[in-house]
């Protein structure tokens, strides 16, 4: 027979539940989700109506990829009286993960009605709307998030993604209107400056700014290899073919620069040519992944033009895969590339091909530049480089469509 719960015993239970709850929170904050789950369950065995414990158990279950169980715990937290915007937000996020759009929307709206300055809720609600192709509503919600947290890089990235989709959808006037508002409100943010001006047709930059490149690639670094594989990214393989056809056979004898090396996708083929293999990139996040390959002799965090200027005559082979698409004007960087080559040295790179070639280069709503073939040819000649090979090829796919590019090798006389 169970003993009746006297006030004295109740106080004992409450203290025990609090102690277990404290332990569970400590485990959760150390990232020990499975241990934390067990500790929250011990807490709830002592006090099944402990609303905060249900909410926090929901969080660890989501971290463990168990969104349905997490949603049940958030609902339990609400049923136990924790009618708090955070719990509605958590429930909304779990339902979004489960693909339960209507329920997620209801919960986001509830959280925002209770707390109208909840930037995370606006941002994640906007993500839901974007997934549902409600792009104007999504852009509006991102703007609300940014009005609350103007320096929030993730929300700027997200807004740029929504406006890109709006533009791709043919709704260019709406995309431009939002881009102008974005620029008006955040004129100094690097993503607004680069993508906002590109979408609004106001770009005057001759290349993507260092801050923009760093922000985009630091953010993207962890997913880069997987995402690019999904897009059928082929620039490193195409350059491997082009270099094999043009350069001396690989004999580990050359001084090689991987210009804009990123996570190091070119390193496996470059290593065979290299006595020394150097990588340079602006993004420390990308360089961290390149370092983990253990294929480079050195890696430098620097702007490509500045790095080339500091290494005149330093390399036999310079390779830039999918990097010059972050430059509009190519004259300065190609001249610096030529000067960084030893006599007889080779430069190999890809660019996206501008077609129709109505101007030398143009920045697209996704922030990359495309170049006219004639402009590439003329700029190489002006830099004192002789084209040894120039092929047209598909560099990758975007929204299922091929991205056509040029694969170029050139030599210094």
Residue ranges in contact with ligand SAM by CB under 6 A? 213, 217, 235-236, 260-262, 265-266, 281-283, 286, 303-304, 321-323, 326
> What is the rounded CA–CA span in Å between residue 51 and residue 34?
20
- Taking alpha carbons only, the member of 408, 326, 320 closest to residue 368 is 326
Sign of torsion over alpha carbons 383, 385, 386, 389: negative
Name the residue with the smallest CB distance to ligand SAM.
262
Name the minimum Å distance from CB 274 to ligand SAM: 15
Name the minimum Å distance from CB 379 to ligand SAM: 16
**Structure tokens, 294:** 């253990």
Nearer to ligand SAM, 266 or 338 (CB): 266
Name the minimum Å distance from CB 230 to ligand SAM: 14
**Structure tokens, 246:** 């043009």
Distance of CA 272 to the CA centre of its chain: 30
- Taking alpha carbons only, the member of 167, 200, 204, 165 closest to residue 186 is 200
Name the minimum Å distance from CB 216 to ligand SAM: 8
Nearer to ligand SAM, 336 or 410 (CB): 336
Nearer to ligand SAM, 60 or 286 (CB): 286
> What is the rounded CA–CA span in Å between residue 333 and residue 382?
12
Nearer to ligand SAM, 171 or 396 (CB): 396
Write the DSSP symbol of residue 120.
H
Sign of torsion over alpha carbons 90, 94, 99, 100: negative
236, exposed or middle or buried, with CB in 10 Å at 0-12, 13-18, 19+?
Answer: buried
Name the minimum Å distance from CB 188 to ligand SAM: 20
Is residue 180 within 8 Å of residue 163, measured between CB atoms?
no
**Structure tokens, 49:** 């109506």
Nearer to ligand SAM, 91 or 240 (CB): 240
Nearer to ligand SAM, 157 or 303 (CB): 303
Name the minimum Å distance from CB 136 to ligand SAM: 30
Q: Which residue has the tokens 């890809």?
A: 350
Nearer to ligand SAM, 112 or 287 (CB): 287
Report angle CA 79, 83, 89 to the nearest 5 degrees.
Answer: 105
Name the minimum Å distance from CB 373 to ligand SAM: 20
What is the C-alpha radius of gyration for the chain, rounded to an integer number of angstroms? 27
**Structure tokens, 281:** 């990139």
Name the minimum Å distance from CB 341 to ligand SAM: 17
Nearer to ligand SAM, 85 or 285 (CB): 285
Name the minimum Å distance from CB 408 to ligand SAM: 14
What are the two backbone dihedrals, phi and then psi, of residue 79, each rounded to the nearest 5 degrees? Answer: -65, -30
Across the chain, how many H-helices and E-strands are there?
Answer: 20, 9
> What is the rounded CA–CA span in Å between residue 402 and residue 147?
37
Name the minimum Å distance from CB 201 to ligand SAM: 22
Strand 361-363 with 369-371, pairing: antiparallel
Nearer to ligand SAM, 264 or 345 (CB): 264
> What is the rounded CA–CA span in Å between residue 167 and residue 6?
67
Is residue 318 within 8 Å of residue 257, measured between CB atoms?
yes
Name the minimum Å distance from CB 200 to ligand SAM: 22
Nearer to ligand SAM, 40 or 307 (CB): 307
> What is the rounded CA–CA span in Å between residue 361 and residue 56?
52
Nearer to ligand SAM, 60 or 321 (CB): 321
- Taking alpha carbons only, the member of 318, 267, 319 closest to residue 297 is 267
């Amino acid at each position: 027979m169970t003993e009746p719960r006297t006030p004295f015993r109740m106080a004992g239970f409450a203290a025990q539940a609090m102690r277990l709850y404290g332990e569970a929170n400590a485990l959760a904050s150390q990232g020990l989700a499975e241990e934390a789950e067990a500790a929250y369950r011990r807490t709830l065995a002592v006090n099944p109506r402990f609303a905060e414990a249900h909410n926090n158990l929901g969080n660890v279950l989501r971290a463990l990829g168990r969104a349905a169980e997490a949603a049940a715990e958030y609902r339990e937290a609400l049923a136990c009286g924790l009618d708090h915007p955070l719990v509605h937000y958590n429930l909304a996020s779990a339902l979004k993960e489960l693909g339960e759009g209507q329920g997620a929307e209801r919960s986001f709206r509830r959280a925002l009605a209770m707390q109208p300055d909840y930037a995370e809720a606006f941002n994640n609600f906007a993500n839901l709307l974007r997934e549902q192709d409600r792009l104007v509503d999504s852009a509006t919600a991102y703007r609300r998030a940014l009005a609350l947290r103007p320096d929030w890089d993730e929300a700027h990235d997200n807004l740029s993604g929504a406006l890109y989709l709006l533009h791709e959808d043919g709704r260019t006037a709406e995309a431009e209107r939002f881009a102008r508002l974005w620029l008006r409100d955040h004129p100094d943010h690097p993503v607004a400056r680069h993508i906002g001006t590109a979408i609004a047709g106001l770009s005057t930059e001759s290349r993507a700014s260092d801050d923009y490149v760093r922000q985009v690639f630091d953010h993207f670094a962890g997913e880069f290899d997987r995402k690019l594989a999904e897009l059928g990214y082929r620039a490193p393989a195409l350059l491997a073919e082009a270099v094999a056809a043009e350069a001396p056979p690989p004999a580990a004898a050359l001084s090689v620069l991987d210009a804009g090396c990123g996570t190091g996708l070119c390193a496996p083929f470059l290593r065979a040519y290299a006595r020394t293999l150097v990588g340079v990139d602006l993004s420390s996040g990308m360089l961290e992944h390149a370092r983990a390959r253990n294929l480079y002799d050195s890696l430098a965090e620097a702007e490509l033009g500045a790095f080339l200027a500091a290494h005149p005559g330093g390399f036999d082979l310079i390779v830039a895969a999918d990097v010059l698409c972050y430059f509009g004007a190519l004259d300065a960087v190609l001249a610096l590339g030529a000067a960084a080559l030893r006599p007889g040295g080779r430069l190999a790179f890809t660019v996206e091909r501008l077609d129709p070639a109505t101007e030398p280069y143009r920045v697209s709503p996704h922030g990359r530049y495309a170049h006219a073939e004639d402009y590439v040819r003329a700029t190489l000649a002006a830099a004192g480089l002789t084209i040894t090979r120039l092929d047209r090829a598909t560099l990758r796919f975007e929204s299922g469509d091929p991205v056509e590019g040029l694969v170029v090798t050139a030599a210094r006389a």
